[in-house]
Amino acid sequence: MQPQDEWLLTDGLGGFAMGTRDGVPRRRYHGLCIASMAPPLRRRTILRAAMAEVVASGESTPLWQAAFAPHGVLAPPMHVPNHTTHEPNGVRTEWTSNAVELVRTLIMKRGVPGVVLRWRGFVPPHATLRVHLLTPLVDFHAFDRGQESPQCELITNGFLLQRGEVQARFEINGGSFVASPDHWHGLRFAEEHTRGYDAEENCFTPGHVDAIADDQGRVDVTIHVLPQVPQWPVPPVADSDIPLAQAASDFLVARGHPQGPSVIAGWPWFADWGRDTLLSIPGLLLVDGRMDEAEAMLETWGAAVSDGRIPNRFLDEDEGRDLGSADAALWYLHVVGLWLEATNQPFAHGPIATVCRSIVEAWLDGASPGTQIDRDGLVLAEEPGRALTWMDAVVDGTPITPRMGKPVELSALWCHSLRVLAERAADDAEGGRLRRIAERTAGSFGAFYCDQTGGLVDRLRSAREGGGVDRAIRPNMVIAAALRAAPLDRARRQRVVDLCRTHLLTPYGLRTLAPSDPDYQGRYEGTMPQRDRAYHQGTVWPWLLGFLVEAHLRSSEHDPASRTTARTWLQPLAAELNSAGLGQLSEVYDGDLPHRPNGCPAQAWSVSEWRRAAAMVERGPKWWMSPQAAATLS
């Protein structure tokens, strides 16, 4: 347990609240109410902080701390220790001393934008509990610069704030609002400074709320923060036998345009990304039997297909879509195959089948920019200056992990997905055609075999690079080894698993590059360019553990010993729920000991793939068959 461990609350609309155990804001994304103006995007920080103090006999006892410029020193001195606990729908903070016994609860409900803050307990008789409200009303990626203040209008039981399109209502019960507009200057956010970003804010305050204690010192005051934003039906929390159901629900959000369910890739700074959404559907939805929601999500993203590409992400501020991803479309085909298997449906008609056909034809015809099926049947992905797979870090226009040419997992996904769709095809002619296309890829897949390592090469190099193969030991080979219908025999799958266990496996996931490689970077730290240079060059990613578990179980035919081994791989990540991101799993870890958590403190595919792996271990090959679904079929 560390003071900087972070808690998270989400509303299912893209809004959230986030802070630390000790209450000190350390990121620009820390705030008690961040609301989405166009769910789940255009997020604005409504309430940065609510700084309370007890004023008695002219003396102030602060119940808060923050860092201030220029040196980041915490102030004021904390006289009353606090204890924070994270609960499913709220955060509870307690202050206890000889003179103060106070509890603050922060509640955020799914489907309801805004928060409820309540202080109650005992302070000296007739003392004043004063709560200073910091309300920047700015883009959640940004800081208030103190150059222009929001407009404030008093109402009967509180006040209204507005800055441009952003409006919020503050309703107060048990206290009174005292208008005293100003700015808190020089607030410093330590994590932003560490990551090489601007780290100071001059935050607007409209004033404070005063609540006066009675003769016994009892005080009870509530502040309702009500941002004016659109509302949509949000995905519920699953009742599941697979752990991390609450963590999974934090990523499931309603999308307004195009309308439908989606997935926030990671809290606090990511939006909904195509690849991340598709990789998360199995572990967030299918493991819990939520087939209708999975279908709706596939339709939402399928409606955005352009020239055979699934958007890498929807952009903020009405900027459209980012189509810079080659593999998202292949993950779409793969997840559709899983969904068809899980629902026992044929591949026939409907919007999802139409999208799949459009992707296949665009890739065969070379209509998808930078991606196509080459004459040998393998997937070719080339677009200078772009990183088209999930290893997508680019610095100064140069991909850090060059994967131009034929990445191994792309051809495996293509072959596997077409084979699965062919198995499910309602039309025999269509099934036969898909099978023939897949077999052309399978016939050439031996080009990825690496006799030196016993596994698979990471890619066949682009002709622009002079051809050849890239023998770097990376985890992409284990994706190929995990896919049921990929063109690998059991022995080759086992060699891939052994190679990954030897060189890449850590307690928290797989390294992205073997430590023996001269390009290996064992620490994910520093400025953004420094972090990007390590992002896929040795940094550990938890989501890859799901594919290692699947490949391991598949190569050993799910025997009891392999399931026991897989459980031991999953246990360390489960223990991480009480650190870093409380109740969540982090985006990445250092490749070197002690494997510090880093990146987003809550990442969708980290949670999703852990849950899917756990379901595979406990349920077997038909991991989507929840007890409820099994009971229905029996």
Average pLDDT for the chain: 93
pLDDT band at 630 (very low <50, low <70, confident <90, very high): low
Residue 138 lies in a domain: yes
pLDDT of residue 326: 85
Q: Please compute the mean of the pLDDT values over residues 328-352 and round it to a whole number.
A: 97
pLDDT tens column, 109-120: 999 999 999 999
pLDDT of residue 388: 86
Residue 188 lies in a domain: yes
Q: Which residues pair with 221 in a beta bridge?
A: 119
CA 220 vs. chain centroid, Å, equals: 36
pLDDT tens column, 596-607: 999 999 999 999
Residue 550 lies in a domain: yes
pLDDT tens column, 354-371: 999 999 999 999 877 788
Residue 450 lies in a domain: no
**Domain stop point among 227, 252, 275:** 227
What's the pTM?
0.95
pLDDT band at 156 (very low <50, low <70, confident <90, very high): very high
Asked if pLDDT for residue 347 goes beyond 60, the answer is: yes
Look at residue 93 and give its three-state secondary structure: strand
Residue 42 lies in a domain: yes
CATH number assigned to the domain comprising residue 123: 2.70.98.40
pLDDT of residue 321: 64
Contacts of 476 (CB under 8 A, 6+ apart): 389, 391, 407, 408, 409, 458
Look at residue 75 and give its three-state secondary structure: strand
Residue 190 lies in a domain: yes
Burial of residue 9 (number of CB atoms within 10 Å: 0-12, 13-18, 19+)? buried
Q: Please compute the mean of the pLDDT values over residues 146-155 and round it to a whole number.
A: 93
Asked if pLDDT for residue 335 goes beyond 80, the answer is: yes
**Domain stop point among 205, 227, 249:** 227
| Tokens coding 534 | 């390590």
Domain count, the chain: 2
What DSSP line would sit under 368-399, residue for residue? STTEEE-TTS-EEE--TT---SS---EETTEE
pLDDT tens column, 53-109: 999 998 999 998 888 887 777 788 766 778 899 887 899 999 998 889 999 999 999
pLDDT band at 30 (very low <50, low <70, confident <90, very high): very high
Asked if pLDDT for residue 634 goes beyond 60, the answer is: no
pLDDT tens column, 263-300: 999 999 999 999 999 999 999 999 999 999 999 999 99
Residue with structure tokens 């609309």? 13
Whether a cis peptide bond, with omega within 30° of 0, leads into 369 is: no
Residue 267 lies in a domain: no
Residue with structure tokens 């809004």? 15
pLDDT of residue 317: 54
Asked if pLDDT for residue 312 goes beyond 90, the answer is: no
pLDDT band at 626 (very low <50, low <70, confident <90, very high): confident
**Domain stop point among 189, 206, 227:** 227
Interatomic CA distance for residues 41 and 541, integer angstroms? 26
pLDDT band at 632 (very low <50, low <70, confident <90, very high): low
Q: How far is CA 439 from CA 356, 364, 378, 415, 464, in A?
A: 18, 14, 11, 7, 27
Residue 424 lies in a domain: no
Q: How far is CA 458 from CA 388, 401, 449, 549, in A?
A: 14, 11, 10, 19
pLDDT of residue 73: 77
| Range of lowest pLDDT (26-30, 137-141, 298-302, 399-403) | 399-403
Other C-beta atoms within 10 Å of 194: how many?
A: 14
pLDDT of residue 628: 63
Query: What is the percentage of the chain residues whose pLDDT exceeds 70?
Result: 97
First-to-last C-alpha distance (Å) of the chain: 45
Look at residue 30 and give its three-state secondary structure: coil
Interatomic CA distance for residues 468 and 605, integer angstroms? 32
Phi, psi of 44 (to 5 degrees): -130, 140
Asked if pLDDT for residue 174 goes beyond 90, the answer is: yes
- Higher-pLDDT residue of 631 and 82 is 82
Burial of residue 518 (number of CB atoms within 10 Å: 0-12, 13-18, 19+)? exposed
Other C-beta atoms within 10 Å of 375: how many?
A: 9
Burial of residue 602 (number of CB atoms within 10 Å: 0-12, 13-18, 19+)? buried
DSSP element (H, E) containing 550: helix 544-555
Asked if pLDDT for residue 125 goes beyond 60, the answer is: yes
- DSSP one-letter code for 348: -
Q: What is the residue range of 626's domain?
A: 504-634
pLDDT of residue 616: 97
Q: Any idea of the CA torsion for 599, 604, 609, 610, to the nearest 10 degrees?
A: 70
456-485 per-residue burial string, b: 16 or more CB within 10 A, e: under 16: bbbbbbbeeeeeebbebbbbbbbbbbbbeb
Interatomic CA distance for residues 302 and 390, integer angstroms? 19
Q: Please compute the mean of the pLDDT values over residues 453-461 and round it to a whole number.
A: 95
Q: Which among 32, 304, 76, 63 has a CA at the least distance from the CA of 168?
A: 32
Counts of helices then strands in the chain (DSSP H, E) = 15, 38
Query: What is the percentage of the chain residues whose pLDDT exceeds 90?
Result: 82
